Every structure is written in C-alpha cells, then in structure tokens.
Amino acid sequence: METKKKTIDDIARDLQISKTTVSRAISGKGRISEETRRRVLAYINEYNYRPSAIAKGLAKSKTFNIAFVMPGDYSSSDLPFFQKCMWGISRTASRMDYDLIVSMVEEGDISQLVRLVDRQKIDGVILSRTTEKDEPAAYLLANQIPFVAAGSAAEEMIIQVDNDHFSACKELTSILIYKGIRRIALIGGSNSYIVNQKRLMGFREAFMQAGVFLDSSLIYTDVENPARIESAVEEILEKKAECIIAMDDSICSHVLSKLSRDHYRIPEDIKVASFYNSSLLEQHQPAITALNFDVTELGMVCCSTLLDAIDKKEINRKTLLGYEVLMKESTQK
C-alpha cells in the first residue's frame, strides 16, 4: 500500500511549528534555532519529503524580512516616534515569523534601500516619512516592491496608514476658537512633508468652518531651526497673538524655552498648544494642550497591512487611525 505523500501542513502539524518555520528550515533563509532546523531536516529525511515541493506551496523565494526605512537627517526629538513605530512593527512581524531590517535614506541617496532590493534581502518595505517628491516611494513603485507608507502620500496608488492629522488639527483649533481665542499663530516645519501639509489644512479648515477671520501673517511654515523659531516667536508676540500652536513637539519645546527665557507666563501672557504630544512636553508646567497619537498602533497596522500586501490579500489603500485631544492648562483662560 502506497504511503500518502507528506505535505508542508503535515510537517508543521506533526512538529507543532508554523509552516513559515518549516519553509525557513528547508530554504536556509530566515532566523530559526539550530535545534528546530535539525528536527525539520530529520523529519524530511525520514519521510523522503522533497524540498522542491515547497516552491509550490509557501513561495520559496520569500526572505521573511521586511525593511523599515528611516530618514538619515532625523533629529534626536524624532527618535521617540521612530522607536515606538519600530516597536509596533517588530511586535507584529515577530508574530508572523518575519524579521525587521532598518535602512537609512538621505536626500538624493537611497543606495541602502536599493542594495536591499537588488540583493533580494527583503519582501517588502515600510517608509517612515513621506514627502511630496518621494524618491524611495518612486523607486519601490518602479520596481514593484510591496511597501506601505507610515503616513499620507501624494500618490493615491501608494498604500498608506496614517493618523487622521487633518481632523485632529481641525478639532483642536476649533476648540480654541470656540473658547474665544481668535488670534492664533501657527509655527510649522518643512512644508515638503505631507504630514505638515495635512496639519496646516486642518488648521485653516477650522477657521473657515467657524466663519472666523484667519490672519495669514501669523502662519509660519518651513521653520526648521531654533534661531528661526525664536525669530518667529518674537514676531508673533509683536503682532499680539493670543495663542501659539506648534506643528510638532520639537518646535513646541523651542517655543516654550524662548517664552521662559523672556519671562512670558503661560497661559496668562500667551497660550501654547502642540499638534503633536510626546515626552518632550509631558513634564512641562503648566501642562501643554496637545494632540496624542498611538504611534505603536501605527507601526502594528503598517506591518500587518504590508504582510497582507506581500501575500496579495485584499487591503485598503488608505487607513486612517484615531487621535486624542488633550486640553491642558496651557490654553486655559
């Protein structure tokens, strides 16, 4: 009587391991323990299982690696965001037997990413920052590499997972307007980043919906260094603004330092808020009104979406995650 041919499902079930682990043991790719590898190979030898059959089942060409691409010009204030996002990605990847490779790109230099793709080291990519003219995204699209943007992207065809920055910034600004604050200044970083564009749009929309005049001279964008932030604060104070909103935590911390050195009281002399909360602001007294986003969740959803894209499952092209408005003492009357 002919013995029924063993399948990869049989191996995984009999050895009480995942099919992915079986594939890694046979292909020699991916990280598993030497003991597990020996168990799988011994099983295969005992039942005369042919490794070539894997190609018909679990896509032998898979590396079970994904890349997390970070900008090389990130600052120390950006690091908590990248760490939390990476933690979420790593947790989800590990549960699916994937490993995470971190790659850096510079403006005009994506050679690290190109090397990973050319050497077939990865199955997919998560981009941690998106710009208007995004070179890594253009390269990945051209080479048909599955990838997800952790943020919004200009190209609709790009798979995107982002927090709803537009609605969040609109809601926080609307609350301040409702509280009777009308002369609100905004200081933001590079307008080439999609996230900053979304935040500015939400800020403007709040004024439009409230039917309140927005003084455009109080909007400062592309403010990217401490000296320029301090200069913007001085101009804003001269223009008798009631409140300063910083687009992110780093800008807000510089604003707070400048106001403290010049002996301005918060919120009595000037109110302050931030469109992004972090540990940079959490210890400040008085407590700072800010928007809170779950960055670990962002990483987890990015990873699960990418793995579905790699497996050619049906996915949403754009996913928007929630936020929390933290109204604190810095904007009280």
Class of domain 8-57: mainly alpha
pLDDT at 63 over 90: no
CB 153 within 8 A of CB 140: no
> Of 167 and 279, which is predicted with more confidence?
167
Quote the pLDDT of residue 50. 57
Band of pLDDT at residue 10, cut at 50, 70 and 90:
confident
Q: Per residue in 141-162, pLDDT tens?
A: 988 999 999 988 878 889 999 9
In the beta sheet, which residues pair with residue 54? Answer: none
Average pLDDT over residues 30-36: 80
Band of pLDDT at residue 226, cut at 50, 70 and 90:
very high
Band of pLDDT at residue 93, cut at 50, 70 and 90:
very high
Quote the pLDDT of residue 61. 65
65 phi/psi in degrees, rounded to 5: -120, 140
| CATH code for the structural domain at 165-293+325-331 | 3.40.50.2300
pLDDT at 327 over 70: yes
pLDDT at 3 over 70: no
Average pLDDT over residues 304-313: 94
In the chain, where the domains are located: 8-57, 65-163+295-321, 165-293+325-331
Classify residue 119 by burial, with Cβ atoms within 10 Å: 0-12, 13-18, 19+: exposed
Band of pLDDT at residue 29, cut at 50, 70 and 90:
low
Domain 65-163+295-321 is found in CATH 3.20.20.450? no
> Residue 69 CB: number of other CB atoms within 10 A?
24
Band of pLDDT at residue 275, cut at 50, 70 and 90:
very high
pLDDT at 86 over 80: yes
Band of pLDDT at residue 4, cut at 50, 70 and 90:
low
Quote the pLDDT of residue 30. 66
Band of pLDDT at residue 1, cut at 50, 70 and 90:
very low
Q: Would 65-163+295-321 and 165-293+325-331 be classified into the same CATH topology?
A: yes
The one-letter code for the residue type at 186 is: L
Q: Per residue in 185-221, pLDDT tens?
A: 999 999 988 999 999 999 999 999 999 999 999 999 9
pLDDT at 54 over 70: no
pTM of the predicted structure, to 2 decimals: 0.78
Angstrom distance (rounded) from CA 54 to CA 274? 52
Quote the pLDDT of residue 27. 67
